[in-house]
Amino acid sequence: MSRQSIGRIAAFVLISLAPLGATAQGPQGVGAGEAARAANPSYNPAKWLKKKPMTPDQALDSNSALGPKLTAKLRTLGVLPADANLGAACETFAELDDCVATLHAAHNLELNFNCLKSKVTGVQANDNPSECRSGTDGKPLNLTKAIHSLAPDVDAKAEANTAERESRDDLAGSSS
């Protein structure tokens, strides 16, 4: 074989294999991360069993003793009104601990629970939004920012931490 034909074969091989190098790097551009994960599933079994957090209704239904115990405890503390249903109060929250923390914050600061709930969930909780100092724009806020928007003169971070600690304590005491 002549040098010229060897050069042509080498050039042909390089040209034909060049696109393979680009595909080996994976997808590029917007959405590339999702496309790469979809194309290459994880082989880690822990990721297969990834649990989504339970909604308050699911948490109360999964543990039949939790609902009555927690409701009684919150009513005893004065956090939940005697005529209120915990499931109904927590229906728009993503997680039960967020709802209980919001109940505590509203009780501790003497805020309207529905106004605070609207801020935290981003869902208008009452029929009359003019009752609240400011309405919700559909975007949920963390508890600290929600408290600050309704009571700007208090230490919102400390109050949110207190309410979250009380929520954890209530849930731990009620689940046993």
At residue 14, the pLDDT reads: 72
Structure token pair of residue 61: 């239904």
**Phi-psi bin for 138: left (phi > 0), alpha (psi -120 to 50), beta?**
left
pLDDT tier at 38 (50, 70, 90 boundaries)? low
Domain ranges of the chain: 3-48, 56-175
Of the ranges 3-7, 57-61, 81-85, 93-97, which one carries the lowest mean pLDDT score? 57-61
pLDDT in tens, 39-55: 566 676 666 666 666 66
Residue recorded with tokens 């600690």: 165
Q: What is the pTM of this model?
A: 0.66
- Asked if residue 4 has pLDDT above 70, the reply is yes
d(CA 43, CA 75): 47
Q: Across residues 14-18, what is the average pLDDT?
A: 73
Residues 6+ away with beta carbon under 8 Å from 99: 56, 86, 89, 90, 93, 117
Structure token pair of residue 124: 């208008």
User: Do residues 86 and 75 lie in contact, with contact meaning Cβ atoms separated by under 8 Å?
Assistant: no
- Please state, for a pLDDT cut of 90, what percent of the chain lies above it: 20
Query: Which SS3 state, helix, strand or coil, does residue 159 take?
Result: helix
Helices (H), the chain: 3-24, 32-39, 45-48, 56-62, 66-77, 86-89, 96-109, 113-121, 143-150, 156-175
Structure token pair of residue 173: 């005491």
- Asked if residue 31 has pLDDT above 80, the reply is no
CA distances 124 to 36, 62, 63, Å, are 38, 27, 29
User: Do residues 132 and 115 lie in contact, with contact meaning Cβ atoms separated by under 8 Å?
Assistant: yes
At residue 35, the pLDDT reads: 58
| 45 vs 170, higher pLDDT | 170
pLDDT in tens, 112-163: 888 898 888 888 766 666 667 666 677 888 999 999 988 999 999 999 999 9
| 88 vs 127, higher pLDDT | 88
Of the ranges 9-13, 84-88, 164-168, which one carries the lowest mean pLDDT score? 9-13
CA 54-58-63 angle, 5° bins: 105
At residue 155, the pLDDT reads: 95
| 38 vs 101, higher pLDDT | 101
At residue 72, the pLDDT reads: 86
